[in-house]
A and B are shown apart, each in its own frame.
Chain A
C-alpha cells in the first residue's frame, strides 16, 4: 500500500508537504480509496493540527485501531477532509494518553469520549470527561473495544450513587427551569434524553444525551468473515441499510482490489436512491405531522408506503436488505421489473408534486416552518454537519459530488443549496433531492448495461476507508481485514455528526417547535448508538 505523491497534488498531499514537512511526504502512504495516511509523533501532531484547521480541513472522524502502528498498541486515526481529498493522521498512542483536539476541531468531542470509553484512552486538555457510549452502570475499567476484552456477560451496577450520575450543564438564572424529556418517549421512538433549560416557553439551552441502547456493533463485527459482516453493516440503522452496507462493501472491495461490474453499480445506485426517496418522503410527512397538518402529511406517507411496497417487489425487502454484497449485488433485477420501476417513478413524481403544491400553498404551514430551528452556516465545518441539513444551510457538501463512487461520476446529482438553514429550507431541499433522486433512477434505468452483477474475486487483507452519501448525509466506514477476518470495523453515520447541530438549532425557539426541528433533521438513534 505504499505509493508516491501523485502527479496532480490534492489538498491532503499539499498539507502533508507544507504543514508536516520534513520526511512526512516520504512516510505518507496512499490508501486504496485515495486517502493519505501519515504517521505523526506527538510534537508534530500538536504543531500541525491548528495549521490543518486553518487550511479548512474538516475532521470527519476520529477512531482508535489496535495493532495498526508498530510502535504502540493503540493508534488514533484522525480523518480529515477537504475538497475531495482525505488526510488520515495516524497517531501512535503511548501510555494510553493523547492530546485533545476538541477545542480546534469540535467534531472531535464525541469521538474522543468514545475512544476513552471503548479503549480507555485518556485525552489531555479536554473539557469533557463524561462518559459517552457506556453509561454509569457499566464498570469503570470496562473498555470493550480493546482486543484484550473478549465478549462475555459483565456485571453492571444498577444503583448508581448520586455522585457518579451524569452531570448535565447547570443552567441557572431567574425563571430558568429544566424540562427533562426521554429517554422513553411517547410513540415508537428510540431512546434519547433531551434536557431543555427553558424560560417560559422559550428554550434557552438544550443538551442531548444518547447511547442508551449500545449494541456493541463494532465489537460484534470483529472476527467475523467479511460476508457475515455484511449483515452487521445492514443492521447499523434500519432505514439506511443500503448506505451502510454499500460503504462497507466499498471498503472491502477497495482493500481487496475487487472491481465491481458496471451493472452491479447501476443497481446499487438505484437502491441507494430508492432508500433516499423513502427517507425523504418520511421526513416530509413527519415535519407536516409535527405541525399538525395531517392532510399534507398523508400525501407523503402514502407515497412512502408505496415505495416500500415497490422495494419489496423488487428485492424482497421493504428496506432493500439482502441485495448489496461484496463484489456487487446478490441477484439481478430483470429488465421488465426495471421498466416497471421507471413507470412507477414517473407516477411518483407527479403525485409528489401534487402533495408539494398542497403544502406550499398552505400559509399556516409556511408560517410554522420558516425561521424555525435555524442551523447557522458557521457551524457546518466545526461540527461536520452533513447531508440535507448542511445543504439547507448553504453548505455545498455531498459525498456523491465530493468523492464520487460507483457511477456517480457519470450520474451527477443536481443541487440547489438554500442558505436559510430553517425547517422550511430543509423541507424544500429534501423535496428537491427527492425529485432529483427520481431523475437519477430514471436515467440509470435508461442507461443500465447488460452483464454480470457480481465479481467473484477473493477478499484480501488490508484496510480502506469508504464514504457514501446516505439520505442523512455523509456515512463513513473504515474496515481492516486481517487473516480474512474483520479486525476493525469503524462506522460513523451522518446522524452521529448532525445530532450536535440540534443543540444549536433549538435554543431561541419555543419548546413546542422542538419536534418539528428534530424531525426536519431526521436523526437516527440507532445510527448513532452502535
Chain B
C-alpha cells in the first residue's frame, strides 16, 4: 500500500465524516423554505450528533447483543464503503477497494445490521420497519446492480476510482447517457437514503416509517452512530452522482491547493444537489408502499437503455 493511498484514506474519511451532517441539514433547510418556514440551522445535525454522543444509551429489556453490536457494525460497514468513493481526490486504487459491486454489498451489510437492530428491541414498529426495509431492499437491489452495470459499461471498468479518473479526463459525457445515468443514480440516491416518495424522514407516525422505524428504539451514542452512518451513506451516493456526472474540479494530483479547490467545488456541487433533493422531496407526496417498484423500474429501464446504447452504438 502506497503512502499516497494511506493519505487518501485519512483524507477521504475525514471529509466524508465532517461534511455529511451539513448536507442532511441543508435538505431539511430547503424543505423548510418550500413550506414558508425558516427551518433549523444548517449546523443543526452537528449539534444533534454532539448532543447524542454525550447522552446515555438505553437498551430495551428485550434487546440482545445485537442492539449493542449493530450500530458499530453498521458504522464500520459504511465507513469502509466510504473508502470506495473518492470525494475530492482520486488516487490509484488499492486491492479490491473501489470495486462497485463490493461497494453495493457493503451498503447491504449495513442495511442487514440495521434490519436486525429494528427487530431486536421487540417493538412492533421496529419489526414493521425492518420488514418494509427488506422488501424495498429486495426490489431495489437488482435495479442498483443494473445501474452499476450501466456505469461499468459507460466507463469500461468496475472500479469507482477508475470511473472517476476516466470521467475527469474525458470531461462531460454524451448528453443522452448523461441524463439517463443522472436520473438512475438520483433514484438510487432517493431510495437508499429513505426519502420521499419512498419514506418520510421527518414523520412522527410510527405506522408509516421505514428507516426511522428501525432506529426508533435507539438512543445516545448508538443513535448518533446510526444517524451519522445514514448521513455518510447519503454523501457517498451523492458523491457518486456528482463526481461521475459533473466531474470538474476533482484533484488527481496530491497538492494542497488542488485538494482544497476540489473540496470547495465538491461542497458547492453537494449543496446544489441537496437543494435539488429538498425541492424534489417537497414536490410530491409519499407513494403507496406497493407502488414503489414503479419508481425503481424507471431507474432499471433507463440503465438498461444505457447498456443497450453502450453495447450496440
Contacts of A362 in B (CB 8 A): 283-285
Query: CA–CA, A251 to B47, complex, Å?
Result: 56
In the complex, what residues of B have CB within 8 A of residue A295's CB?
Answer: 34-35, 282-283
Which of A179, A294, A365, A515 has a CB less than 8 Å from the CB of B205?
A: A515
Q: Are B35 and A291 in contact (CB under 8 A)?
A: no
User: What per-residue 1/0 map shows which CB atoms of A168-189 lie under 8 Å from chain B?
Assistant: 0000000000011100011100
* A46 contacts partner chain B, Cβ-Cβ < 8 Å: no
**Interface check B208, CB cutoff 8 A:** yes
A71 proximal to B (CB < 8 A): no
Contact A365 B285 (CB under 8 A): yes
A293 touches B284 (CB 8 A): yes
Interface range for A: 20 to 34
Is B96 interfacial (CB-CB < 8 Å)? no
Digitize B200-236: 1 where CB-to-A-CB distance is under 8 Å, 0 elsewhere. 1011111110000000000000000000000000000
Write the chain A residue with the least CB distance to B283.
Answer: A295
Closest to A514 in B: B207
Q: In the complex, which residues of chain A have a beta carbon less than 8 angstroms from the beta carbon of B289?
A: 201, 510, 512
Query: CB-defined interface of A291-303 with B at 8 Å, one 1/0 digit per residue?
Result: 1111111100010
Query: Of B197, B208, B282, B285, which is in contact with the most chain A CB atoms at under 10 Å from its CB?
Result: B285
Please measure, in the bound complex, the distance between the C-alpha atom of A298 and the C-alpha atom of B196, giving whole angstroms: 16
A298 contact from B35, B204, B206, B208, Cβ within 8 A: B35
List the B side residues contacting A186 at CB < 8 Å.
Answer: 204-206
Q: Does A318 contact B (CB under 8 A)?
A: no
- Distance from B202 Cβ to chain A, minimum over Cβ atoms (Å): 7
Rounded to whole Å, the gap between the CB of A498 and the closest CB of chain B is 20
CB neighbours (8 Å) of A367 from chain B are: 285, 287-288, 291
A365 to B36, CA, bound (A): 20
Instruction: Report the separation of the CA atoms of residues A201 and B209 in the bound assembly, to the nearest whole angstrom.
Output: 12
| A73 / chain B contacts, CB cutoff of 8 Å | none
Which chain A positions have C-beta within 8 A of B288? 367-368, 510, 512-513
Binary per-residue interface labels of chain A (270-292) against chain B in the complex, 1 for a CB within 8 Å, 0 otherwise: 00000000000000000010111
| Docked-complex contact B205 and A290, CB < 8 angstroms | yes
Quote the shortest CB–CB distance from A202 to chain B (angstroms): 9
Interchain CB contact (< 8 A) of A512 among B37, B202, B207, B285: B207
Q: Is A24 an interface residue (CB 8 A)?
A: no
Q: A residues within 8 A CB of B205?
A: 186-187, 290, 515
CB distance from A181 to the nearest CB of B (A): 7
Which chain B residues lie closer than 8 Å to A365 at the CB level? Answer: 284-285
Return chain B residues, CB-CB under 8 Å to A515: 205, 207-208
B7 at the interface (CB under 8 A from A): no
Chain B residues with CB under 8 Å of A291's CB are 285-286
Q: Please measure, in the bound complex, the distance between the C-alpha atom of A185 and the C-alpha atom of B206, giving whole angstroms.
A: 9
The residue of chain A having its C-beta at the shortest distance from the C-beta of B216 within the complex is A186
* A to B contact number (C-beta, < 8 Å): 79
Of all chain A residues, the one with the shortest Cβ separation from B196 is A292
B285 and A511 within 8 A (CB) = no
Q: How far is the CA of A109 from the CA of B284 in the complex (A)?
A: 42
CB-defined contacts of B202 to chain A, threshold 8 Å: 292, 294
* CB proximity to B under 8 Å, residues A481-530: 510-515
Q: Mark B122-135, 1 if CB is under 8 A from A, else 0.
A: 00100010001000
Q: How many residues of B contact A (CB 8 A)?
A: 28
Question: Which residues of the partner chain A approach B128 to less than 8 Å between Cβ atoms?
Answer: 179, 511
Chain A residues with CB under 8 A of B291? 367
B132: chain A residues at CB < 8 Å are 201
- Residues on A with C-beta less than 8 A from B203 are 292
Closest Cβ neighbor of B205 among chain A residues: A515
Interface of B is mostly: loop
Q: Which of A179, A292, A298, A513 contacts B124 (CB 8 A)?
A: A179
Query: A288 and B285: CB pair below 8 A?
Result: yes
**A512 CB to nearest chain B CB (Å):** 4
Decide if A364 is an interface residue (CB 8 Å cutoff): yes
- Is B286 a contact of A510 with CB atoms below 8 Å? no
| Residue pair B35, A181 in contact (C-beta under 8 Å) | no
Q: Which residues of chain B come closer than 8 Å to A290, judged between CB atoms?
A: 205, 208
Closest to B197 in A: A364
In B2-51, the 8 Å CB interface with A consists of: 31, 34-37
CB-CB under 8 A from A297, the residues of chain B are 35
A185 cross-chain contacts in B, Cβ below 8 A = 206
Q: Contacts A288-B285, A292-B203 known; A201 to B290 CB distance under 8 Å?
A: yes
Cβ B286 vs Cβ A368 within 8 A: yes
A109 to B208: give the CA distance in the assembly, Å: 31
State in angstroms the CA–CA spacing of A515 and B209 once bound together: 11
Q: Give the distance in Å from the alpha carbon of A21 to the alpha carbon of B206 in the complex.
A: 56
Which one of A288, A293, A302, A512 lies within 8 Å of B208 (CB-CB)? A512
B284 pairs with A364, CB closer than 8 A: yes
With a cutoff of 8 Å between Cβ atoms, the chain A residues found around residue B282 in the complex are: 294-295
Pair B124/A180 contact, Cβ less than 8 Å: yes
B200's partner among A187, A292, A364 (CB-CB below 8 A) is A292
Query: Which of A292, A302, A510 contacts B290 (CB under 8 A)?
Result: A510
Across-interface contacts of B284 in A (CB, < 8 A): 293, 362, 364-365
Q: Contact at A293–B285, with CB atoms within 8 Å? A: yes
Q: Name the distance in Å between A293's Cβ and chain B's nearest Cβ.
A: 4
Whether B207 and A181, one on each chain, are in contact in the complex, defined by CB atoms closer than 8 angstroms, is yes
Considering the chains assembled together, what is the distance between the CA atoms of A368 and B284 in angstroms? 11
Minimum CB distance partner of A202 in chain B: B290
Nearest residue, chain B, Cβ from A293 = B285
Complex contacts, A364 vs chain B, CB 8 Å: 197, 284-287
B197 to A: closest C-beta gap in Å: 6
Residues of A contacting B290 in the complex (Cβ-Cβ under 8 angstroms): 201, 510
Taking CB atoms, residues of chain A closer than 8 Å to B35 are: 294-295, 297-298
Q: What 8 additional pairs, Cβ within 8 angstroms, besides A181-B206, A297-B35, A515-B205?
A: A180-B124, A201-B132, A292-B202, A295-B283, A298-B35, A365-B284, A367-B291, A510-B289
Q: Could you tell me which B residues sit within 8 Å of A by CB distance?
A: 31, 34-37, 124, 128, 132, 196-197, 200, 202-208, 282-291
Q: Which 4 A-B residue pairings sit nearest by Cβ, starting from the closest? A: A298-B35, A292-B286, A292-B200, A293-B285
- A sample of 14 cross-chain residue pairs with beta-carbon separation below 8 angstroms, ordered by A number, consists of A185-B206, A201-B132, A288-B285, A292-B196, A292-B208, A293-B286, A294-B35, A295-B35, A298-B37, A367-B285, A510-B290, A512-B289, A515-B205, A515-B207
